[in-house]
């Protein structure tokens, strides 16, 4: 029997057990009650209330504009829907980079006001102190290395990270630093598969990849990309399981046609 099937509630301990048993971890983003309910009932292990809400929910070009209060709004909607998955919430840009006290206060606010189970933050050695401080309050922390979208203006592009030896070496060091600081898991985004596999082998905590190949302990995708709600974003790593953009466009078209032709509502669809 898989760990996944046995558990009523996914905890950080369950994720560690899954890694030890070689069972892959499934993770998706969700930002609202209705979608979170579907994703949870389908049996996902981890729901990430990602700051990608800034892009897919609010239409911003980057993840930078979303605020702590907006993240809490999304997270508390998700928490109301979920029975089983572990819910991790992104600390948004500007809510933790200042100093470790600010990071702790932001993490506490998220946990207190949303009811989520853990936080995620981006970065390596530069956020070590913040991770340690957040952990002193008993809040589990997920790390995030590789392509870290909150630093887009430093990188300049959303291209694959750590292709060069020097950056790859630094990423490996940072991964160890985050594990030693106490992170319970880590996202590796858009890095070469071989590098991600090496990190997953060297670390005991679960490594969840996005565009990081199959040698890691689990996978995460942005829900809207995975179900094809957005047809403009086509990175190589994305597998679309539906094409909801086309399906919804057709459904809306049919509705407009039925309203205009007076076919809707019919006799049975009124009081
Ligand atoms: O915000 C987000 O959706 C993320 C994932 C891409 C890992 O951080």
CA–CA gap between residue 221 and residue 240 (Å, rounded) = 10
Using a 6 Å CB cutoff, which residues line ligand 1?
A: 29, 48, 50-52, 90, 187, 189, 210, 220, 222
pLDDT tens, residue by residue, 209-225 = 999 999 999 999 999 99
Tell me, in angstroms, the distance from the centre of ligand 1 to residue 222's CA.
7
Best residue among 26, 46, 63 to mutate for probing ligand 1's pocket (most ligand atoms within 8 Å of CB) is 63
CATH architecture of 3-240: Alpha-Beta Barrel (3.20)
Which ligand 1 atom is at minimum distance from the Cα of 120? 8
- Rg of the chain taking only CA atoms, in angstroms: 20
DSSP strands (E only) in 22-114: 25-29, 46-49, 86-90
pLDDT given for residue 5 in this prediction? 76
Bridge partner residues of 216 (DSSP): none
Q: Known catalytic residue: 61?
A: no
How much is the average pLDDT of 166-192? 98
**Catalytic residue from among 23, 122, 179, 189:** 189
pTM: 0.97
Is the distance from CB of 148 to CB of 122 less than 8 angstroms? yes
Task: Give the three-state DSSP class for 179.
Answer: helix
Which ligand 1 atom is at minimum distance from the Cα of 220? 7
CA–CA gap between residue 255 and residue 269 (Å, rounded) = 14
pLDDT tens, residue by residue, 26-36 = 999 999 999 99
């Amino acid at each position: 029997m898989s760990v996944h099937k046995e558990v009523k509630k996914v905890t950080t301990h369950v994720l560690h057990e899954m890694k030890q048993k070689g069972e892959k971890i499934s993770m998706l983003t969700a930002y609202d009650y209705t979608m979170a309910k579907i994703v949870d009932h389908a049996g996902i292990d981890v729901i990430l209330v990602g700051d990608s809400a800034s892009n897919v929910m609010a239409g911003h070009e980057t993840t930078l504009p979303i605020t702590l209060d907006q993240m809490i709004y999304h997270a508390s909607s998700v928490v109301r829907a979920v029975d089983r998955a572990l819910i991790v919430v992104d600390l948004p840009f500007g809510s933790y980079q200042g100093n470790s006290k600010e990071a702790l206060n932001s993490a506490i606010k998220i946990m207190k006001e949303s009811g989520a189970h853990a936080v995620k933050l981006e970065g390596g050695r530069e956020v070590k102190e913040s991770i340690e401080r957040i952990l002193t309050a008993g809040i589990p922390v997920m790390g995030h290395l590789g392509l870290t979208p909150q630093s887009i203006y430093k990188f300049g592009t959303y291209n694959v990270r750590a292709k060069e030896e020097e950056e790859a070496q630094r990423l490996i060091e940072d991964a160890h630093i985050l594990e030693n600081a106490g992170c319970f898991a880590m996202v590796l985004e858009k890095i070469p598969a071989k590098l991600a596999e090496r990190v997953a082998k060297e670390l005991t905590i679960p490594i969840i990849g996005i565009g990081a190949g199959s040698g890691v302990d689990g996978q995460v995708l942005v829900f809207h990309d995975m179900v094809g709600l957005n047809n403009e974003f086509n990175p190589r790593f994305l597998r679309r399981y539906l094409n909801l953009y086309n399906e919804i466009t057709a459904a809306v078209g049919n509705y407009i046609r039925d309203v205009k032709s007076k076919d809707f509502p019919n006799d049975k669809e009124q009081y």
